[in-house]
Structure 1
C-alpha cells in the first residue's frame, strides 16, 4: 500500500485496541462485559487458591476453608456467582426483547442460548470420558478417578443452574414487567420457605428447588438494572443495605454459616444446595458494583482496557470450563512424581508465598488449553428452522440433569465409568439437534464487541 493510500485510510493507522473501541456501539453497556470478565477471573483464582494439594493428603477441594476459618468472611467477596446472574439478567432481558421484536420464537431463541453454552462443553465431556476410561484401564483406583473428574467438573453446577434460569428467563421477564420488585420479593419469600423446610427436616435434597428459585429471583435484579430501576446512588445504596441487613440477620441470628462457599466443617452449606443467603449476598454485591458503574464506564472508555475485556469474554466459557482440569492435571502429575519440594504443606508461610507461582503455572497451562479449545466458542450460523419447543426444552433438561449429577459425583461410580451422565448432555445437544452435526460454511461473526449478548 502506498504512503498516500495509508494517509487516505485513517483506520489503517489505528491500533487493534482502537479498532475494537471504534467498532463498539455507543449503546453497549461495557460494564456488563467487564463484570462478567472480572467475575470469571475471581472464580478461577479463587478455585486455584482454596484447593489444597499435599503429598500427605492428596487433593483437598476445600482445604483452605476447612483448615483456616478466618478465611470464611472473605468468601463474601470471592463468592461471585451472584454477579454472573446479575449480568445474565441484563443480557438475557436484552436478548429476549430483541428476539421478540424480530419475531424470533422462544424455541429458536433457546436453541441459540443452548448452543452458546453447550458447544464449548462438548470437548470437555469427551476429554473426561477418555481420561477416566484410560485411568481405570491403567489400574488407577476408582475413587481417585471419581474425585478427579468431580473436581474438574465442579464448574458444571453453575451451567446447570444458569441454563435452567435461561429456560425461565422469558416468563420471568413477563413477571418483572408486570409486578416489578414484587417478583423479586416473592421469589425470595418462596426460597425462604424452601430453606425452612429443608433445614428443619435436615434434608439438603429438599433444598434443591432453590438452585432455580434463588437464582431466578435474583436474575430479576438484572432486569431492574436494564430498565433503569436501579439508577441513582440512593437506590443502589438501598439495594446494598437490604442485602447486608438480610445477611446479618440470616447469618447472625439464623442457622446459616458465615462461609458462602461450602466448607465441610459447617453443618449447613450456603451454596450446596443454594440457600436464600446467596440472593441477599447478590443484593449486597450488586448494590456495591453498581455504585461503581460510572467510574467503570469511564475506565472502559480506554481502548486498551476495553480490548482486554473483549478478549476475555470471547473465550470466557473455555477459561471457566477448563481451569480446574488444569489444576487436577498438574496436581496429579506432581503427586505422581512425589515432587514434595513443589508441594509445601498447605497454609504454611512457604505455601502462601508460593501461591503466585502456583497460579502462574496454572494460568500458563490453562492458557494453552484455551488456545486449542477456544475455537469452540466461535459459533457458526444455524439457518435451520426453529426446532419444536418440546425438543429444545427436553435438550435443556438433559443437559442440566447430566451436569448436575457430574458436578456432585463425577463420572465414576462403584461400577466403574458411568457413561449415562456425560451422555445426557451430549444427547441433548447433538442427538436432539441443538448443535448441528454438519457445519455451515459461513462463519458467524464474534458477538463482542458489537453483536448480541
Structure 2
C-alpha cells in the first residue's frame, strides 16, 4: 500500500511542470487548513447555551493577539493575486477575452457552491416546517455559511483583477498605495459617522489593493529577504499603530468583546495584517520550495487543492450538524463547558471527529470541483458580470442573516446565486449540452 501511494506521489511530482511555483499551492492548502481548524476551535458549543459564534474570542481576551497569526484570509488573496495575474496574462496571450476568462473562474468557484446552497434551502424548509425556532435555524445557517463572505469578497476582486493588473503594470506600487489611501478614507468616514455600512466599500478596496501584492510576488518585485522583511515590518508597524493609537481592536476576527470589527466590514487593518503575513511567509519561500520538491509533501498539497473548495464550503455545515445532534441528544459528556480544562483537552479529538465527517462529505461532494470541459463560444461581456453580481449579492446577505428570517425561509437569497449562474450561462443544465 505504501509503495502504491509513493508511486502515485512520484507520478504527480514528475507530471508537475518545472515552471510551477509549488509554494503558491502549498500556501493555499496551508491557509485553508488553518481556517478550518480555527473555525472548529473558535466557535463554541455549550450544552445549555447552544452554539456560540465567537465563543473563544468572547470568553478569553488573551486569545485576541493570536488572531494576527490565525486570521489567514490575506494569504488567500496573496496567492489569488499571483494565480489570477498568471491566468489573465495567459488568457491575453491566447486571445481569450475577459468574458470567457471570467466565466471560467466563476465555474471553478461557483459550481461547488450550488449543492451547499440547495442543501441549506432544504434544511431551512424542513426545520421550519418541523417547528424549529426561526432564531435557531437562522443562527445555524449563519454559522454554516460563514465561508460565503470570503467567496463574495473574492469574486468581487476577481471581477476587477484584469483592470487592477493593468494599473499595476503601469503604475506599480502607486496602484497599491492609492487604493489603500482611498480605503483609509472610507474607514475614517465610516468610523467617524459610526456607520459600519459606510465601510462596506472596503470589502473591495482593501482586498483588491492587497491582491496586488500577489502581482508583485509574481513579477519579482518582492524578491530578496530585505524587501520581504521590510514588507513584514511595515505591516507590523502599521498594525501596532492602528490598534494602539487608533480605534481598532486587537482581534482580527469579529468578537462581541469589541465595539468594532476589523473584518466586518473589512478595515484597513486587514491590509497591514496581510503585509505582515505576506512578508513573513515569502521570507520562507526558498526553504518551502526545497521541502515541496519532496514527492510526498507535494502530493498531499495537490490532493488538498483538488478539493479545497469543498473542504472550505462544507466544514462548518458538518460542525453545525454535529453540534445540533449532540444538543438534541443532551450529550453533556461530549459537550464540556467551553474554555474549561476538559474543553481544551478534548479539542484535538473534536477536530479529528469533524475532520473524518467532513472527509466523507468531501468524498461525496468533491465531484462538483471537476465540471465538464466548457467548449462553448465566448459569452457576451455582460453575462458573466451579471452572474457574478447575483452570486455576490446572495452570498453577502446569507453570510449576514442566514437562510431564515422572522417570516420564514428567505429562499430568494438562497436561489439568487444559483439562478444567476444558470440564467446568465455560467452553468449549463443537462438539456443544454
Alignment TM-score, normalising by the size of structure 1: 0.94
Change (3 A) 1:403 1:31: same
Q: Can you list the C-alpha shifts for 1:47-82, whole angstroms capped at 9, x where unaligned?
A: 000011011110001010000000000000000000
Q: Give 1:316's aligned residue.
A: 308
Q: Give 2:255's aligned residue.
A: 263
Q: Can you list the C-alpha shifts for 1:401-446, whole angstroms capped at 9, x where unaligned?
A: 00000000001011100111011101111121101112899xxxxx
> Is it true that 1:57 corresponds to 2:53 in the alignment?
no
Q: 1:301 aligns with which of 274, 293, 303?
A: 293
Q: Give 2:118's aligned residue.
A: 126
> Is it true that 1:81 corresponds to 2:73 in the alignment?
yes
Q: Give 2:277's aligned residue.
A: 285
Q: Can you list the C-alpha shifts for 1:325-344, whole angstroms capped at 9, x where unaligned?
A: 00000000000000000000
Alpha-carbon RMSD: 1.2
Q: Can you list the C-alpha shifts for 1:138-195, whole angstroms capped at 9, x where unaligned?
A: 1101110111111100100000000000000000000000010111111111110000
Displacement after TM superposition at 1:273 (Å): 0.2
Change (3 A) 1:14 1:54: closer
CA distance in 2, matches of 1:295, 1:191: 35
CA distance in 2, matches of 1:142, 1:243: 42
**Secondary structure, counterpart of 1:15 in structure 2:** helix
Q: 1:92 aligns with which of 84, 94, 97?
A: 84
* CA contact 1:382–1:440 (8 Å) conserved in 2: no
- What aligned pairs does 1:11-26 form with structure 2 within 5 A after superposition? 15-26=7-18
**Secondary structure, counterpart of 2:75 in structure 1:** helix
Q: Give 1:408's aligned residue.
A: 400
**Secondary structure, counterpart of 2:430 in structure 1:** coil
Q: Can you list the C-alpha shifts for 1:8-54, whole angstroms capped at 9, x where unaligned?
A: xxxx9970000000000000000000000000000000000001101
* CA contact 1:381–1:440 (8 Å) conserved in 2: no
- What aligned pairs does 1:226-237 form with structure 2 within 5 A after superposition? 226-237=218-229
Change (3 A) 1:97 1:440: farther
Q: Give 2:373's aligned residue.
A: 381
Displacement after TM superposition at 1:295 (Å): 0.3
Change (3 A) 1:186 1:13: closer
Q: Give 1:43's aligned residue.
A: 35
Alignment TM-score, normalising by the size of structure 2: 0.98
Q: Give 1:163's aligned residue.
A: 155
CA distance in 1, matches of 2:84, 2:7: 32
CA distance in 2, matches of 1:281, 1:106: 31
CA distance in 1, matches of 2:407, 2:85: 44
* CA contact 2:27–2:79 (8 Å) conserved in 1: yes
Q: Give 1:250's aligned residue.
A: 242
* CA contact 2:228–2:282 (8 Å) conserved in 1: yes
* CA contact 1:31–1:297 (8 Å) conserved in 2: yes
Structure 2 unaligned blocks of 5 or more: none
Q: Give 1:429's aligned residue.
A: 421
Structure 1 unaligned blocks of 5 or more: 1-11, 442-453
CA distance in 2, matches of 1:439, 1:243: 52
Q: Give 2:188's aligned residue.
A: 196
CA distance in 2, matches of 1:171, 1:134: 44
Aligned residues: 430
**Secondary structure, counterpart of 1:59 in structure 2:** strand
> Which 10-residue stretch deviates more, 425-434 or 252-261?
425-434
CA distance in 2, matches of 1:13, 1:397: 43
CA distance in 1, matches of 2:208, 2:424: 26
